[in-house]
Amino acid sequence: MAEVTYEQVSCRYPGSDKLAVEHLDLAVPDGSFMVLVGPSGSGKTTALRLLAGLEELSEGRIEIDGQDVSGVDSRHRDIAMVFQNYALYPSKTVAENIGFALKMHGVARDERQKRVREAAQMLDIEELLDRKPRQLSGGQRQRVAMGRAIVRHPKAFLMDEPLSNLDAKLRVQTRVQIAELQRRLETTTVYVTHDQGEAMTLGHQVAVLKDGRLQQYAPPRELYENPVNAFVAGFIGLPQMNLIRVPLSDGCARLGGESLPIPQLLLAAASERDAEEIIVGIRPEHVTVSDSGSDGIPAEVVLVESLGADSYVHANLAGLDTNFVARTEGHDARRPGSNLRLRIDPDRIFAFDADTEERLQPRGRSERSAQPEAASR
């Protein structure tokens, strides 16, 4: 086990005028599970490959267990990587695949076999040890790839979108297994995904990246409840937060032809910036849907997604070409084209600067750090 640290790490690929990773600062505590998440092109996989020694740093340094490994070959970093495509040797058995790295490092045969059996028991693949990869399902191949990492007893596990090739059911099952393994082994883990649901369920800490830059680094709940900017607010949460640019007038935002009261603290923050408009953020679960004729913002139903326990109502707000999503409990029988009203609790509103997209908070009010000192376990 080991602490992993990125210090002002940057990476520019040859021939590119843009940094793939820009001045990344992260501290991953010993034994914690940290997830790098972001859309395509955010730099998350590059950040992982820099840690693995598969890409060269342009600036900064990376430490593993207090040792600067910036110029150390990947073979000597004492890490184990699980790839998206499994990377198994097709001609070798499962047992041979799991024990291959140990064999290359000169580990004695008896010790190799002992570690392979232990990993196979942990992953429930003992009956597969004599099979070849072509005889395995996608989920079984992924467990073999994890077994190959486990037997090495590395200082850190690195996982690059390991669930992306699995179907929905297997993704959930394997996600639970990965979380349980990490909890049992207490090995520092850095995990890359584009799926914010995976990030929120697996990570003790989550680093949200965009365009190579760290946006926020915090426990999952902190990201959901206190996003530092509109990008994090919209990226974390499913369905994503409704983000609407609105003008301010007399302490209210004009939304769908109606006045939406804005809390005084947010108005004060907007006033400090001389803002005439803001970006209002409203989560679908913080909206109450009622029939037309009652109080609220008028809207027209576009689509209803029924998911069993909940439904998501997609609606157009009156006077705005904006899709707005609200969550309702159980089956929602509203039809496209029907009218409704959306009631929004002002105290659940998020507000962001219309220019910088930073979270609006009154000057002097302490904000939670985007770079926590320690992971929440």
For 7-27, what is the mean pLDDT?
96
DSSP string, 53-104: TSS--SEEEEEETTEE-TTS-GGGS-EEEE-TT----TTS-HHHHHHHHHHH
Place of tokens 């998206």: 84
Q: How far is CA 339 from CA 239, 301, 316, in A?
A: 21, 6, 10
- pLDDT at res. 364: 54
Quote the CA–CA distance of 78 and 335 in Å, as a whole number: 58
Per-residue pLDDT at 83:
87
- What mean pLDDT is predicted for residues 41-61? 97
Contacts for 364 with CB less than 8 Å, ≥ 6 apart: none
d(CA 173, CA 177): 6
Domain 4-228 belongs in CATH node 3.40.50.300:
yes
C-alpha dist (Å) from residue 137 to 167, 294, 313, 350: 11, 54, 37, 45
- pLDDT tens sequence across 329-357: 999 999 999 999 999 988 999 999 999 99
* Rounded mean pLDDT, 78-104: 92
Take residue 365 and report the two structure tokens written for it.
Answer: 């009010």
Query: What is the pLDDT, as a whole number, of residue 182?
Result: 95
pLDDT in tens, 143-157: 999 999 999 999 999
pLDDT in the model for residue 84: 84
Specify the pLDDT at position 1: 67
User: Does the structure show a pLDDT above 60 at 377?
Assistant: no
Residue 369 confidence (pLDDT):
40
- The per-residue pLDDT for range 192-246, each reduced to its tens digit, is 999 999 999 999 999 999 999 999 999 999 999 999 999 999 999 999 999 999 9
Largest CA distance in the chain: 78
- Rounded Cα distance, 31 and 69, in Å: 19
Mean pLDDT confidence for 57-80: 95
Q: What is the pLDDT of residue 362?
A: 64
Summarised one tens digit per residue, pLDDT across range 262-279 is 999 999 999 888 888 999
137-192 confidence digits (pLDDT tens)? 988 999 999 999 999 999 999 999 999 888 888 899 899 999 999 999 999 999 99
Are the CB atoms for 339 and 302 separated by under 8 Å?
A: no
Three-state SS for 96? helix
Strands 79-82 and 156-160: what pairing?
parallel
Banded model confidence at residue 319, pLDDT cuts 50, 70, 90: confident
The model's confidence at residue 76, banded by pLDDT at 50, 70 and 90, is: very high
How far apart are the two ends of the chain, measured CA to CA in Å?
15
Q: What pLDDT shows up at residue 128?
A: 96
In a 10 Å sphere around its CB, with 0-12 CB exposed, 13-18 middle and 19+ buried, how is residue 28 labelled?
A: buried
> Residues 209, 42: contact at Cβ < 8 Å?
yes
Query: Residue for token digits 């707000």?
Result: 317
Structure tokens at 359: 């979270």
CA separation, residue 306 to residues 237, 310, 313, 332, 337 (Å): 18, 6, 9, 7, 17
**What global pTM score does this model have?**
0.90
Domain boundaries defined on the chain: 4-228, 239-353
Instruction: Tell me the pLDDT band of 251, cut-offs 50, 70 and 90.
Output: confident
**Which of 50, 151, 157, 64 has the alpha carbon at shortest distance from 105?**
151
Q: Please state, in angstroms and rounded to a whole number, the distance separating the CA atoms of residues 115 and 316.
A: 59
Distance CA 116, CA 94 (A): 9
**Which pLDDT band, with edges at 50, 70 and 90, does 371 fall under?**
very low
When pLDDT is averaged across residues 43-61 and rounded to a whole number, the result is 97
The CATH number for 239-353, chosen from 3.40.50.1820, 3.40.50.300, 2.40.50.140, 3.30.1330.10, is 2.40.50.140
Helix, strand, or coil (residue 122)? helix
